[in-house]
Amino acid sequence: MRWILLPLVALACGQPTTPAQPAAASASTRMEDLRAQIEAIADGQTSFDLWVPDEVTLNGAPLRQDAAMALLVDRLLARGLFPHGFSAGAGGRTYHYRQGPPEVPGGVPPAGKPLRVPRVLEAGKAYQLHVEHS
């Protein structure tokens, strides 16, 4: 029933989507196939869901999932899509990406009085740093 509702929801929302877990998902997926899915994202697409199995290969060799995710997220960030959580499934996860960075509760904290960082940091002493960016 989940597979019937998902396409209907996608059509109703007008947002392109990818199923949470493809019906023919294998135990291992090639990194090249995951990259191809990202390259196929239409310009202006505001959301994208990517199923990543627990086991990923690159050029036929096993690839650690943290390394695979770093490579995939880099390509998604270049397209303006930011991580917005994941859903765990049997044998992997569906990672959700949306346009723009996630909202920070309460917004950006107010800027305080700028302080200089001491040239010599003393062991055992706590230092508080505030970084502003525009």
- Taking the C-alpha atoms of residue 61 and residue 108, their distance in angstroms, rounded to an integer, is 43
Positive/negative CA dihedral, 61, 63, 67, 68: positive
- Residue 53 is predicted with a pLDDT of 92
- Residue 111 is predicted with a pLDDT of 57
- Taking the C-alpha atoms of residue 47 and residue 98, their distance in angstroms, rounded to an integer, is 4
- Taking the C-alpha atoms of residue 39 and residue 22, their distance in angstroms, rounded to an integer, is 18
- Residue 16 is predicted with a pLDDT of 41
- Residue 8 is predicted with a pLDDT of 32
- Residue 114 is predicted with a pLDDT of 53
| Packing angle, helices 65-78 and 31-39, rounded to 10 | 10
Give the chain's residues under pLDDT 70: 1-28, 102-119, 127-134
Q: In this structure, which long-range contacts are made by residues 13-20, counting pairs with CB atoms below 8 Å and at least 24 apart in sequence?
A: 15/46, 15/47, 16/42, 16/45, 16/47, 16/48, 17/47, 17/48, 17/49, 18/48, 18/49, 18/50, 18/51, 19/49, 19/51, 20/49, 20/51, 20/87, 20/89, 20/94
Query: Which residue reads 């899509």 in tokens?
Result: 81
